[in-house]
Each structure stands twice: as structure tokens, then as C-alpha cells.
Structure 1
Amino acid sequence: MAYVLGVDVGTTRTTAAVCRLDGARDAEIALVVPSLLQLTDAGTFSVGDVDPTGWTASGFVRRVGDAVPFSLGPESCPAEELTALLIMWVIGEVVAREGEQPRHVAVSHPAGWGPYRRGQLYAALRQVGVHDVTLVPEPFAAAENHAVRSRVLPDSSLAVFSLGSHAFSASVVKRTSGRTFELVNHVEGIDHHAGADFDDLLAGLVRGRLGKDGFVSALECEAAKRAFGPAVVISGVEVTRDEFVEEIRPSVDHLVCTFTRALGAVQPDAVLLVGGACRMPVIGDALSAAVDCRVLAEAAPEHSVAKGAAVAARLVLVGPEAEPEPIETSVLVHTREASLRFPVGEIARPDDEEFTAPPPRPPVDVSPLELPPRRVKRVARVLKPAGRRSGSRSRDDDEDGR
């Protein structure tokens, strides 16, 4: 069956979703894999697994457009090249499962990216053979995923609260008369705690009771953080929900204050929670107390952007005017509400003339850094399938993901 593909490359996890062209407009998760690339001694790349004998790169998507490359043993690889290699591998895995190429591919990116960074990723994707692709801002993808299930009226606004393992952002998007979306405001968190920091705070509580020689399981902390009952037991130590909430309250308040500043005078119809760290009930509770609207999240909010990117890819082919208005459903739940929905805007096609030079930067007096010469022009020769993750639920699917 003909399909389109959405890919969300997060700091921790990369997620792919497919949307059928002659079936339901909703998307389904096809693949979840760690956002890791490793160069082996044999000169090949593998995805997902870490071998102590190789050189591993992670977190590269947030550095797309950075002039300083990643050093992987004998190779110097720009962040956009590593990102393109991972996307190419993901597409290949989905094609192997589906038995045919996707009709179109949409890749999400942070809303703060300008023409230069988008152009760098477009160029890297073309160099690895991925041509028919659209780049979609993350809050647009989140909104598009929501819009599949719930009616969003023209001129209404949606707020997107995104909290993953290593990144936080707050955005406001507005529905246009053409059933697309435009970005009203966007804030990237700089000094805010994210999912991994909350894991560390929980581990600190446990370690303080075990003593300096006590062992604290990071996996237990990550799982307990999002599924707190009245109490959890980690490494033999009981921590109550109230104790954990008290420990992270300053960090949560900081996130919510930044989010409300990003809203400004806008009164959104709903707040959409995106990213695995939003599974923590305290996040939804704090937002519900701060805003006068619905606070909505899917059961797996770390998958919302990938699914929305797939829906956006479908819209590129069929157009928003060809899609019927959705029927209200109750598929997302959080705090006092039980429905969800996300929209995406018109995506401009890449214009090479727009991407010829990076944006101007203020003058800085620094000593020049001599970078090692690249020994191999192109490193996309071989990608070995490794660490494959299916769309079925597994422990890896429960990671914060972004």
C-alpha cells in the first residue's frame, strides 16, 4: 500500500512513522532506534548499538550547521552528514519492511532553525541520495498530529510544550484560513532542566540515603520518573511521590514560567505535550494550574512529532483542501482532558539561492582552530543494520526520545 514517511531525529531516539495514502489519515510508528552512529575499524557505519572498539557519535542533530565537525577516529564528519546518514538508514529499514519506497518523506527539525541550517541538511540529504524530502518544524508536526483527530478553527492557536531527554522548547502556532499553520512564537530552553536532569535529581535522592558507595540504577530512575505511584523503590530505597515532586519543583516551575512567557497575550485553545519527559504527571499538573485551557498528551508523547511529520508528508501530496475536517475523538489524555490533536503549516520548497551563506554573526576575537583534514570525502558507503527497533513496544520505546 502506498505510504509516506515521517522521521523525527531526536537527541536520544530517532522515530519513524508511516501514513497510508489510501487508508486512515492517522500515522503509525514504524521504527524506533537510538540516535547513535558508530564508525568501525573496517570503515563501515552501524546504527543504534555501541561497540567499545569503534568510534561513536550522538547528539549530532542539534549541531547541524556547526562548522566544527565530529571526530570519529580517522574521519571528520559534519553534523548534517551524520544526520543525513541516519535518516538514509531509517528510510532503508522502513522500505525493507514495507516492500516499496515512500511516496514522500518529511523530516522534523527544531523551530529555531533558519534557512542556513535547513539548507545544510537538505544538501547533506541530497548527497546520500534522499531527494524527495520536506523539512517540517517540530511544533508544526506536533500540531498536525493533533489536527488529524480534533477540529482546529481558523485563527485559533495551539501551544506546544516540548520536553525530551536533553531539550526543552515552547512554541505557539496559529491556524490559517487555508488549514495550514504559522509560527507565532518560539523559545528554546537554554538553562532549563530536561528529562535526563530529572533522572539525576531522582538518583541524587536515592544516593543520599545509600551513601557515597551505594549503586543507583539509571534505568530504574528513568522508568520511575514517569510512572510514579504513591511511592517507588529504586535500588532498595523507597522514594515517595511527594519527595520527588518537592525535589524537582524549582525546575518544573522554571519550565512553566518560560512557557507562559512564550505564550504572551495569546490564549491558546489547547497545550500539546511533546517528548517523553512529559509523561511525568507533575508536568501536566503544573501546566494545568498555569493556563486556562486544555492540556493534552498522547499515551506516548515522544512519538507525536514523528507521527505529525508523516501526516505533513501526506498533506504535501494531497493538499489540505483534499482532506476532510476530522471528527472529534478522545485519543489523548492528560490531567483533566481526554483528546489531542496537532497541525502543520505550508512547507516552502528548498531554494538553493537562499542557502548560500550562513547568517551573519557578531565579530568575536578568537584564536583560529586548525581542524584535521578529512581523509575520506564521503562516508556513506556502508551502513550496517544494528540495534534495530520495531514499532512494537519495548523498553527502548519508553525513553524520553528527544
Structure 2
Amino acid sequence: MAYVLGVDVGTTRTTAAVCRLDGARDAEIALVVPSSLQLTGAGTFSVGEIDTEGWSASGFARRVGDVVPFSLGPETCPAEELTALLIMWVINEVVTREGEQPRHVAVSHPAGWGPYRRGQLHAALRAVGVHEVTLAPEPFAAAENHAVRSRVVPDASLAVFSLGSHAFSASVVRRSQSRTFDLVNHVEGIDHHAGADFDDLLAGLVRGRLGKDGFVSVAECEVAKRSFGPGVVISGVEIGRDEFIEEIRPSVDHLVSTFVRALGTVQPDAVLLVGGGCRMSVIGDALSASVDCRVLAEAAPEHSVAKGLAVAARLVLLGPEIEPEPFDTSVLVHTREASLRFPVGEIARPDDDEFTAPPPRPPVDVSPLELPPRRVKRVTSALKPAGRRGSRSDSRFDDEDGR
């Protein structure tokens, strides 16, 4: 069945979603892998695998355009080349599972990127054979994902609160008369705590009980952080919910105050929670107490951007459809009267006027053996898949904060 593809390369993991062209407008998750590459001594790249006999790199997607390259053993690779390699691998994996090429691909990028960084990523993607691709800002993708399920009228505004494992951002977008989205305001968090920092704060509470020689599982802290009941037990130590909230309250207040400043005088119709860090209920509760609108989140908010990218790619090919009736969903959780949580949704068609599209070619011409012609090609002979093939996603990474 013909489909389009959205790829969201986060700091921790990369998520791919597909949207069927002759089916429902909603997207489905196709693949989730760690956002890491490893160069082996044999000159091959692998995705998601970490081996002691190789050189690995992660966190490169946010450094696209940085003049300082990554050092992988004998090779130095710019961040955009590593990002393009990862995207190429993801596309190839989805093609293998779907049995055909996607008709179009949309890839996310931070809203603060300018023409230079977008151009660097476009060039790197073309170098690995990915030609028909649209680059879309992350808050636009989150808004498009929301619009699948809830009608967004022209001139309506949506606020996007994004909290992943290593990054925080706040954005405001407005629906245009052509039913796309325009960026009104955007703030990238610099000195703000993100998901991994909250894991460390929880681990610190446990370590304070165990003493300096006690062992604390960070993975256990990550899981417990998002599933707090009255209390949790980590490494044999019980931590109460109120104790944890008291520990992270200054960090949460800092995030929320920055978000409120980003809103300025705009009164949004809704706040969309994006990123695995938003699974902590304290985030939604703090926002609900600070804004006079609905606070909405999907059951898996770390997937919102990837799904919105797939919807955006569909819009690029087919254009806006007749405004549908709101999408019915059973994922409704009432946290309090001022805060109704349910899945969010879509993105506007992001046209990049700074770049001219390449000559017409097949939608995506991807071969795992045809790597970029520059320094990467000199040392690689194959980009081999990692993990289990055939499964829709790897459950080992479904509990990570993502992004």
C-alpha cells in the first residue's frame, strides 16, 4: 500500500512513522531505534549497536552545521553526515518491511534552525541518495499530529511544550488561512533540566539513603520517574511521590516559567505536550495551574513529532483535504477540570524557499551499500542493520524519554 514516511531524529532515539495514502489520515509508528552510530575496525557502520571494538557517536542530530566534526577512530565525520546516514538506514529498514519505497519523506529539525543548517542537512541527505525530502520544524509536526484529531480553525494558536531526555523547548504556532502553521515564537532551553536530569535527581535521593557505596540503577530511576504512585522502590529504597516532587519542584517551575514567557500575550487554544519527559504527571499539573487552556498529551508523547511528520509528508503530496470531523479517540484521561489529556496531532506543509528542489528522481533511492562520497565512503563498505528485523519496534527503547 502506498505510504509516506516521517523520521524524527532525537538525541536519544530515532522514531519513524508511516501514513497510508489511501487510508486514514492518522499515522502509525513503524520503527524506533537508538540515535547512535558505530564505526567498526572493519570499516562498517552499525545503527543502535554499541561494541567495545569500535567507535560510536550519538547526539549528532542537534549539532548539524557545527564546524567541529565527530571523531570516530581514524575518521572525522561532520554531524550532518552522521545524521544523514542514520536517516538513510531508517528509510531502508522501513522499505524492507513495507516492500516498497515511500512516496515522500519528512524529517524533523529544531524550530530555531536557519537556512544554513537546513541546507547542510539537505546536502548530506542528497549525498546518501535521499532526494525527495521535506524538512519540517518539530513544533509544526506536533501541531499537525494534533490537527488529525481535533479541528484547528484558521488564526487559532497552539503552544508546544517539548521535553525530551536532553532538550527542552517552548513554541507557539498559529493556523493560517491556507491551513498550514506559522511559527509565532520559539525558545530553546539552555540551562533547563530535561528528562535525564530528573533521572539523576531521583538517583540522588536514593543514593542519599544508601550511602556513597550504594549502587543505584539509572534505568530503574527512569522507569520509576514516569510511573510514580504514592511511592516507588528503587534499589531497595522507598521514595515517596511527595518527596520526589519536592526535589524536582525548582526545575519544573523553571521550565514552566520559561514556557509562560514564551507565550507572551498569546492565548493558545491548547498546550501540546511533546517528548517522553512529559510522561511525568507533575509536568502537566504544573502547566494546568499556569495556563488558561487545555493541556493535551498522547499516551506516548515521544511519538507525536514522528507521526506529525508522516501527516506532513502526506500533505506535501496530496494537499489539504476537506476539513474532517474531529477524530474520535478512546485515550481520554481526566486529570483535573482544567486539564484534559488526549492524543495530539498534525503539521502544516513546510515549504523551504531557501532551497531549490533537485531534478526529478525516484522518490527515495536508498541502497545500504552506497554511502556518502566524502570521508565516510572511504572507510565504510556497508551500513549493517542492528537488532531484530521484522518487529515493529524494539520494546527496550519504548520506555526511554526519547528526543
Query: TM-score of the superposition, structure 1-length normalised?
Result: 0.92
1:350-369 counterparts in 2 under 5 A?
351-352=354-355
Q: Is the 8 A contact 1:48 1:388 kept in 2?
A: no
Which amino acid in structure 2 is aligned with residue 400 of structure 1? D
Distance 1:83 1:281, change over 3 A: same
Paired position in structure 2 for 1:339: 342
Matched, 1:12 2:15: no
Q: Is the 8 A contact 1:74 1:375 kept in 2?
A: no
Name which of structure 1's ranges 341-350 and 105-114 shifts more when overlaid on structure 2: 341-350
Which amino acid in structure 1 is aligned with residue 392 of structure 2? G
Paired position in structure 1 for 2:191: 191
User: In 2, Cα distance between the equivalents of 1:227 and 1:53?
Assistant: 36
User: Secondary structure of the residue that 1:290 maps to in structure 2?
Assistant: coil
User: Secondary structure of the residue that 1:136 maps to in structure 2?
Assistant: strand
Paired position in structure 1 for 2:263: 263
Distance 1:158 1:78, change over 3 A: same
Using the TM superposition, give the Cα deviation of residue 379 of structure 1 relative to its aligned residue in structure 2, in angstroms: 5.4
Which ranges of structure 1 fall in alignment gaps of 5 or more residues? Answer: 355-373
Q: Is the 8 A contact 2:195 2:277 kept in 1?
A: yes
Which amino acid in structure 1 is aligned with residue 110 of structure 2? P
User: Secondary structure of the residue that 2:135 maps to in structure 1?
Assistant: strand
Q: Is the 8 A contact 2:109 2:137 kept in 1?
A: yes
Which ranges of structure 2 fall in alignment gaps of 5 or more residues? Answer: 358-373
User: Secondary structure of the residue that 1:315 maps to in structure 2?
Assistant: helix
Q: Is the 8 A contact 1:199 1:225 kept in 2?
A: yes
Q: Is the 8 A contact 1:85 1:380 kept in 2?
A: no
User: Secondary structure of the residue that 2:207 maps to in structure 1?
Assistant: helix
User: In 2, Cα distance between the equivalents of 1:83 and 1:43?
Assistant: 18
User: In 1, Cα distance between the equivalents of 2:273 and 2:117?
Assistant: 26
User: In 1, Cα distance between the equivalents of 2:334 and 2:64?
Assistant: 33
Q: Is the 8 A contact 2:170 2:187 kept in 1?
A: yes
Using the TM superposition, give the Cα deviation of residue 391 of structure 1 relative to its aligned residue in structure 2, in angstroms: 2.9
Distance 1:380 1:137, change over 3 A: farther
Which amino acid in structure 2 is aligned with residue 181 of structure 1? F
User: In 1, Cα distance between the equivalents of 2:130 and 2:327?
Assistant: 36
User: In 2, Cα distance between the equivalents of 1:391 and 1:376?
Assistant: 29
**Cα shift readout 1:346-401 (whole Å, capped 9, x = no counterpart):** 312464479xxxxxxxxxxxxxxxxxxx8655556410111357435723111011
Paired position in structure 2 for 1:285: 285
**Cα shift readout 1:179-237 (whole Å, capped 9, x = no counterpart):** 11000000000000000000000000000000000000111100000000100000000
Distance 1:37 1:175, change over 3 A: same
Matched, 1:325 2:324: yes
Which amino acid in structure 2 is aligned with residue 271 of structure 1? V
Paired position in structure 2 for 1:64: 64
Paired position in structure 2 for 1:401: 402
User: In 2, Cα distance between the equivalents of 1:98 and 1:284?
Assistant: 36
User: In 1, Cα distance between the equivalents of 2:138 and 2:264?
Assistant: 20
Distance 1:184 1:379, change over 3 A: farther
**Cα shift readout 1:237-287 (whole Å, capped 9, x = no counterpart):** 000000000000000000000000000000000000000010000000000
**Cα shift readout 1:11-33 (whole Å, capped 9, x = no counterpart):** 00000000000001100000000
Paired position in structure 2 for 1:371: none
Matched, 1:180 2:219: no
Using the TM superposition, give the Cα deviation of residue 328 of structure 1 relative to its aligned residue in structure 2, in angstroms: 4.4
User: In 2, Cα distance between the equivalents of 1:68 and 1:338?
Assistant: 42
* Total equivalences in the alignment: 382
User: Secondary structure of the residue that 1:106 maps to in structure 2?
Assistant: strand
User: Secondary structure of the residue that 2:289 maps to in structure 1?
Assistant: helix
Which amino acid in structure 2 is aligned with residue 20 of structure 1? R
Distance 1:58 1:332, change over 3 A: farther
User: In 2, Cα distance between the equivalents of 1:145 and 1:326?
Assistant: 15
Which amino acid in structure 2 is aligned with residue 6 of structure 1? G
Q: Is the 8 A contact 1:6 1:17 kept in 2?
A: yes
Distance 1:318 1:379, change over 3 A: farther
Paired position in structure 2 for 1:140: 140
User: In 2, Cα distance between the equivalents of 1:54 and 1:163?
Assistant: 31
Distance 1:178 1:380, change over 3 A: farther
User: Secondary structure of the residue that 2:340 maps to in structure 1?
Assistant: coil
User: In 1, Cα distance between the equivalents of 2:203 and 2:188?
Assistant: 26
Using the TM superposition, give the Cα deviation of residue 334 of structure 1 relative to its aligned residue in structure 2, in angstroms: 6.3
User: Secondary structure of the residue that 2:344 maps to in structure 1?
Assistant: coil
Using the TM superposition, give the Cα deviation of residue 338 of structure 1 relative to its aligned residue in structure 2, in angstroms: 3.8
Which amino acid in structure 1 is aligned with residue 135 of structure 2? L
1:1-150 counterparts in 2 under 5 A?
1-150=1-150
Q: Is the 8 A contact 1:298 1:333 kept in 2?
A: no
Q: Is the 8 A contact 2:147 2:345 kept in 1?
A: yes
**Cα shift readout 1:80-122 (whole Å, capped 9, x = no counterpart):** 0000000000000000000000000000110000000000000
Distance 1:145 1:195, change over 3 A: same
Query: TM-score of the superposition, structure 2-length normalised?
Result: 0.92
Counting aligned pairs with the same residue, the percent is 81
1:231-310 counterparts in 2 under 5 A?
231-310=231-310
**Cα shift readout 1:331-351 (whole Å, capped 9, x = no counterpart):** 464633143433422312464
User: In 2, Cα distance between the equivalents of 1:176 and 1:168?
Assistant: 26
Paired position in structure 2 for 1:367: none
User: In 2, Cα distance between the equivalents of 1:86 and 1:98?
Assistant: 18
